Amino acid sequence: MNPQPSVMTRRRSKDKLFYQNYRLRWPGRVLFTGLRFGMWLWLDVEKQGWANIPRHGPAIMMINHIAFLDPVILTGLMPRALVSMAKIEAYEDKIIGPLLRAFDSIPVNRGAADLQALRRILDALEAGLAVLIAPEGHRSETGGLGEAHEGIAFVAYRAKVPIVPVGISGTPAFKHNYWKMKKTQVTYRFGQPFYLDPGGERVTTEMLKQMTDEAMYQLAALLPPEQRGLYEDLDKATAKYVKFAPQVK
């Protein structure tokens, strides 16, 4: 008698099938339309390097996170579906929780190694989707880049997908400008996609750390000096494991 598949195996198969046939469900589509209208009404968005966004195939959209709206705005800007993540506590909020579910965001337990979230991210990338990752794991309290977790390097290396760095500026002013009925100027700078390639070396914890730092310096280069934080000195940047994808003509 063949053993029955475990609950975890059945869940993994369901997740894979979900992403392989991914299409935003109707609540998300309705909210997406409202999101774009709200962006038109309340934001003045400057987009730089727009051609660097891959129109097809898997990709990691790597952002600096300085305001709650950062991933929301990027979702509205993207010319393709974007799978995002959110801390698991946010799903308990009566307003934010339903919105996250409508947009099919992946819940992440930040207090532990969340293998289920990691598997879902890899499944989404394997299905050819774009995934949004904020490598710091939380919003910056200072507006500058903080130390990044090695998870982004692990995912990029494991899935062999390009990273598109996205430098975000101006979003913290939205809360103040909203009450003054004033549009907020925000800037989204899209850098050249790159891969993290170990070049045949054995991947170690130290290598993942260096890969992560090299990716963060690519992100820092898209930000004004006051937002670069721990990665402010671009002269310290290395690019041993960074392999740029061909530029889009």
Name the token pair of 182: 């004033």
CA distance 111 to 157: 23
pLDDT in tens, 148-169: 999 999 999 999 999 999 999 9
Tokens matching residue 229: 């934080």
DSSP state of 123: H
Contact assessment for residue 69 and residue 168, using Cβ atoms and an 8 Å cutoff: no
Per-residue pLDDT of the chain (249 residues; tens, 9 = 90+): 555 566 556 666 778 888 888 888 888 899 889 999 999 999 999 999 999 999 999 999 999 999 989 999 999 999 999 999 888 888 888 878 888 888 899 988 876 677 889 999 999 999 999 999 999 988 999 999 999 999 999 999 999 999 999 999 999 999 999 999 999 999 999 999 999 999 999 999 999 999 999 999 999 999 999 999 999 999 999 999 999 998 765
* 90-139 tens-digit pLDDT: 888 887 888 888 889 998 887 667 788 999 999 999 999 999 999 998 89
**DSSP symbol at 226:** G
Instruction: Indicate the domain borders of the chain.
Output: 41-244
Residue 142's alpha-carbon distances to 48, 191, 229, in angstroms, are 24, 23, 8
Residue 86: its pLDDT value, please? 87
Tell me the whole-structure pTM to 2 decimals: 0.91
**Single-letter code of the amino acid located at 142:** T
**In the prediction, which pLDDT does 25 show?**
86
The Cα–Cα gap between 104 and 120 comes to 11
What pLDDT is stored for residue 5 in this prediction?
A: 60
b/e code 154-181 from CB counts within 10 Å (16+ = b): bbbbebebbbbbbbbbbbbebeeeeeee
Q: Which CATH architecture has domain 41-244?
A: 3-Layer(aba) Sandwich (3.40)
